[in-house]
């Protein structure tokens, strides 16, 4: 068997990407106030800002688009998608939403109240925001291994069951349900094991608490289970996913991830306890329950995408791609979060810029350097994103300085990854010339999206 793992698709439609010169990129980045969020996408060669809604649809999905039934109520497209979702999840009740955060908002509005507490391995930022908005405490209880970037562990997304039990004991009356996120996006796209999901579900049941899974990357998580968890080697991805869902009472989904579409999301629930409240909240903000926030054609594309996302050849290629870049980084002596996760590789900026003071935002500086060197756009996950400027003018800093390179699905080929590895290598070779930045203008919240920067002299 040849060792090279090829993309399990061929290309039917292409979209040119634009090469720019270094001089142009210097100018473009200056115009963007040294903030890659403000670049125009057409000025980026390889866009690894996010894997969310950025992937390529298949010819079957584009074909399905034409089948969309745009009826307001009772559209054929709804029933087609409902059948697919019931088959994959085993859950009876399904409502579409326009994306994942809308599913969260609708479910939490229907089920949570001020003063509640929700445990999770790590809440994704929109999940946390939607809970906190209602006045719910969002508690992250990932295992300690999940917080150590260079430590290798097969399931760094697992939840710490002892700590879950402790909060169930002390705060049961405040807990409307327990949650877990697969894969753990905030924790580096790291998977959760079946054993952990099963034990967590059992624990919640003992305390009479429902179990909700954030299933944005359920297919990637299932593939990790197949590759890493004894006993699942011969199970199909659909079987593994079905077992994961069998332990849950409900799930929220951003279809922009393993749904393989550019926009969409949904809620599924096993029984109808919460359904009246969910439907009412849905109608208020998303739409009638047979379309939620989605067009009929998008429901069709999702029905196809969910099935394609479970394809083992695709998933093997997907996870291998991140691992492949990781191997190249390892050989070049560049640190990253290990092992590589499902959808992204997280560079440890400290290993490229060990002497840059944190006040000069080394991960932001590395992010800028990747663009200047090779037109690659990643995202800083460091002290710009998670630090704060306090009222007295001083700053708080994040414990890690990472640059996330997140990979759109079915979009970039192996040669793009080879190119990126070369660019990263080159950046490391020129590290002494990389300049830090200072913030010259920033909003009070979520400053990384819109802040203006200048070079440190
Ligand atoms: C993307 C994401 C969400 C939110 O979904 P959107 O479609 O971006 O609103 C929620 N949870 C996780 C784990 C995600 O990755």
Residue 73: pLDDT band (50, 70, 90) is very high
User: Which amino acid residue places its CA nearest to atom 12 of ligand 1?
Assistant: 124
Whose Cα sits closest to atom 11 in ligand 1?
124
Nearest atom (ligand 1) to Cα of 101: 9
C-alpha 254 – ligand 1 centre gap (Å): 5
Confidence of residue 305 (pLDDT cuts 50, 70, 90): very high
pLDDT at residue 350 greater than cutoff 80: yes
Please give the distance, rounded to the nearest whole angstrom, from the Cα atom of residue 251 to the centre of ligand 1.
12
Distance CA 54, CA 188 (A): 19
Minimum CA distance residue for ligand 1 atom 5: 100
User: Which pLDDT value is given to residue 150?
Assistant: 87
Q: What is the pLDDT of residue 301?
A: 98
Atom of ligand 1 nearest to the CA of 99: 7
Q: Separation of 185 CA from ligand 1 center, angstroms? A: 9
> Does 3 score more than 80 pLDDT?
no
Judged against a pLDDT cut of 80, whether residue 434 lies above it is answered with: yes
Mean pLDDT of 134-157: 94
Task: Delineate the domains of the chain, giving CATH numbers in brackets.
Answer: 22-51+311-455 (3.90.1150.10), 59-308 (3.40.640.10)
Residue 134 is predicted with a pLDDT of 95
pLDDT over threshold 90, residue 270: yes
For residues 230 and 34, what is the distance between their CA atoms, to the nearest angstrom?
A: 47
> What's the confidence (pLDDT) of residue 2?
75
Distance between CA atoms of residues 184 and 186, nearest Å? 6
Residue 230 has pLDDT above 90, yes or no: yes
DSSP code for 142: B
Would you state the pLDDT for residue 399? 84
Tens digits of per-residue pLDDT, 184-220?
988 889 999 999 999 999 999 999 999 999 999 999 9
Please give the pLDDT value at position 289: 96
pLDDT score of 400:
87
265 contacts 299 by C-beta, under 8 angstroms:
no
Q: Rounded to the nearest whole angstrom, what is the distance from the C-alpha of residue 49 to the centroid of ligand 1?
A: 14
Instruction: Among 50, 52, 182, say which to mutate for ligand 1: greatest number of ligand atoms within 8 Å of CB.
Output: 52
Average pLDDT over residues 64-82: 98
- Taking the CA of residue 53 as reference, the ligand 1 atom at the shortest distance is 7
Alpha-carbon distance of 49 to 68, in angstroms, equals: 30
8 A C-beta contact, residue 337 and residue 149: yes
Q: Compute the mean pLDDT over every residue in the chain, rounded to the nearest whole number.
A: 96
The predicted pLDDT at position 90 comes to: 98
Q: Which residue has the higher pLDDT, 306 or 129?
A: 306
Pocket test for ligand 1, best of 107, 126, 342 (most atoms within 8 A of CB): 126
Work out whether strand 376-377 and strand 46-47 pair parallel, antiparallel, or are unpaired: parallel
pLDDT of residue 443: 87
Pocket of ligand 1 (CB under 6 A): 52, 99-101, 124, 126-127, 181, 185, 214, 216, 254, 256-257, 265
How many angstroms separate the Cα of 218 from the Cα of each of 186, 198, 251, 255?
Answer: 15, 15, 10, 11
Element containing residue 89 per DSSP (H, E):
helix 76-89
The two structure tokens encoding residue 18? 């634009």
Model confidence pLDDT, tens digit, residues 385-408: 988 888 888 999 988 899 999 999
Residue 99 phi, psi dihedral angles, 5° rounding: -165, -175
From 96, 185, 189, mutation site for ligand 1 pocket: most ligand atoms within 8 A of C-beta: 185
């Amino acid at each position: 068997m040849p060792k090279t793992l090829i993309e399990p698709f061929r290309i039917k439609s292409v979209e040119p990407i634009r090469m720019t010169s270094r001089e142009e990129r210097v100018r473009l980045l200056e115009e963007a106030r040294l903030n890659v969020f403000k670049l125009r996408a057409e000025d980026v060669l390889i866009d690894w800002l996010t894997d969310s809604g950025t992937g390529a649809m298949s010819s079957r999905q584009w074909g399905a688009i034409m089948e969309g039934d745009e009826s307001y109520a009772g559209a054929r497209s709804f029933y087609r998608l409902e059948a697919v979702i019931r088959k994959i999840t085993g859950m009876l009740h399904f409502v579409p939403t326009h994306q994942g955060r809308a599913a969260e908002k609708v479910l939490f509005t229907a089920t949570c109240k001020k003063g509640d507490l929700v445990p999770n391995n790590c809440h994704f930022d929109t999940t946390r925001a939607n809970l906190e908005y209602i006045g719910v405490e969002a508690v992250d209880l990932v295992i300690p291994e999940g917080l150590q970037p260079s430590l290798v562990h097969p399931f760094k997304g697992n939840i710490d069951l002892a700590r879950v039990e402790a909060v169930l004991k002390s705060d049961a009356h405040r807990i409307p349900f327990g949650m877990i996120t697969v894969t753990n996006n905030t924790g580096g796209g790291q998977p959760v094991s079946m054993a952990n999901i099963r034990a967590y579900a059992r624990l919640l049941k003992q305390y009479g608490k429902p179990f909700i899974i954030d299933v944005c990357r359920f297919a990637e998580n299932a593939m990790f289970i197949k590759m890493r968890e004894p006993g699942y080697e011969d199970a199909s991805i659909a079987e593994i996913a079905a077992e994961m869902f069998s332990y849950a009472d409900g799930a929220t989904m951003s279809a922009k991830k393993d749904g393989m579409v550019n926009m969409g999301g949904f809620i599924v629930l096993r029984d109808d306890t919460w359904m009246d409240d969910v439907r009412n909240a849905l109608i208020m903000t998303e739409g009638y329950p047979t379309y939620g926030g989605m067009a009929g054609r998008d429901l069709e594309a999702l029905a196809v995408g969910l099935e394609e996302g479970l394809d083992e050849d695709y998933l093997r290629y997907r996870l291998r791609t991140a691992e492949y870049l990781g191997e190249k980084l390892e050989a070049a002596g560049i640190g990253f979060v290990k092992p590589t996760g499902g959808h992204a590789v997280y560079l440890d900026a400290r290993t490229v810029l060990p002497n840059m003071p944190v006040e000069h935002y080394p991960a932001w500086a590395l992010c800028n350097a990747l663009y200047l060197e090779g037109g690659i756009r990643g995202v800083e996950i460091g002290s710009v994103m998670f630090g704060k400027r306090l009222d007295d003018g001083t700053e708080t800093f994040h414990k890690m300085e990472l640059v996330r390179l997140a990979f759109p699905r079915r979009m970039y080929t192996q040669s793009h990854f080879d190119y990126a590895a070369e660019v990263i290598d080159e950046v490391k070779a020129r590290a002494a010339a990389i300049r830090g930045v200072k913030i010259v203008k920033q909003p009070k919240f979520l400053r990384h999206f819109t802040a203006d920067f200048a070079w440190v002299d």
